[in-house]
Amino acid sequence: MTVDSRVAEVRRHELAAFLRSRRERITPDQVGLPISGRRRTPGLRREEVAQLAGVGVTWYTWLEQGRDINASEQVLDAISRTLRLDPHEHTHLFTLAGAPEPPLEKDCKLLSQNIHRMMDKLEPFPVCVRNARCDILAYNRAYDWLMGGLDDIPFEERNTLIQCLTNPEWRRRLPDWELNLPRVVAGFRAAMAEHIAEPAWKNLVKRLRQESELFERMWKEHDVTGERIVLKRYLHPDVGLLRFEFSYLYLGRRSEISLATLTPADEETAAKLPSSF
């Protein structure tokens, strides 16, 4: 056995142990499964994880047994969501599986401390950093206040399309979300042309088409645009209607990551922003 094959074997066994430990900490009620009869296994059963992740039971069992099989990025993403892995665990899963670094974590590593300090200095103006896939990579406290607690949303769910289409609280804060959504979806489709074969993008589209009839209808229309929304209204439960103008700063000459600053569009909005956070 070569050194490389020994390392691969150790990594597979470590992956198997990691998956078992994370499976055993998730209870059926946490994932909406009924509890029937006495359970001999703590947490979820293997077949339940396979069902929720949309993979074969035999294949997932082999993965937990440390067998020499390959897992695609799309499958690893599905398993990660099922087991409710945090960002560090998500990256660890990909590393043990010998898969490329997850795109979301890779994008986040591009954000220097200078960017975070700049976002803090711009308060009380809300600021967020997003990639072309509509993932929110970073934000300041003012943006968290505006959107009602992004800190409480799991890292991998911080995506503007996911939240607009599946989160009622998010939609309540965006009175024009249905009006603006066609442009957002069209911009997302245009951006996807550069990532057409990437599992992370395909997985997101598949999920949105399954969970939102509105997205499914818009996706079938094949509209594209490069135009960005520059004026948006928000409805905050404490201070009422707010109007902001958007400014976009791209973090590099060919970067798809942009920093969006929300500047009050009128004096009334400016007066409603908290003086401190």
pLDDT confidence band for 108 (50 / 70 / 90) = low
What does 78-129 look like in DSSP terms, one character per residue? HHHHHTT--HHHHHHHHHHTTPPPPHHHHHHHT--HHHHHHHHHTTTS-EEE
pLDDT tens column, 156-171: 889 999 999 999 999 9
Note the pLDDT of residue 142: 96
Note the pLDDT of residue 184: 93
Question: Domain locations in the chain?
Answer: 3-97, 113-272
Note the pLDDT of residue 260: 94
pLDDT tens column, 11-59: 888 888 999 998 888 888 777 777 666 677 778 889 988 888 888 889 8
Average pLDDT over residues 235-256: 90
Average pLDDT over residues 108-131: 87
- In angstroms, rounded to a whole number, what is the distance separating the alpha carbons of residues 160 and 260? 13
* Architecture (CATH level 2) of domain 3-97: Orthogonal Bundle (1.10)
pLDDT confidence band for 86 (50 / 70 / 90) = confident
Fold of 113-272: Beta-Lactamase (3.30.450)
String of b and e for 240-265 (b: at least 16 CB within 10 Å)?
eebebeeeeeebeeeeebbbbbbebb
| Same-fold call for 3-97 versus 113-272 | no
Note the pLDDT of residue 269: 97
**188: nearest Cα among 136, 137, 224, 230:** 224
pLDDT at residue 134 is higher than 90: yes
Report the amino acid identity of residue 8: A
pLDDT confidence band for 69 (50 / 70 / 90) = confident
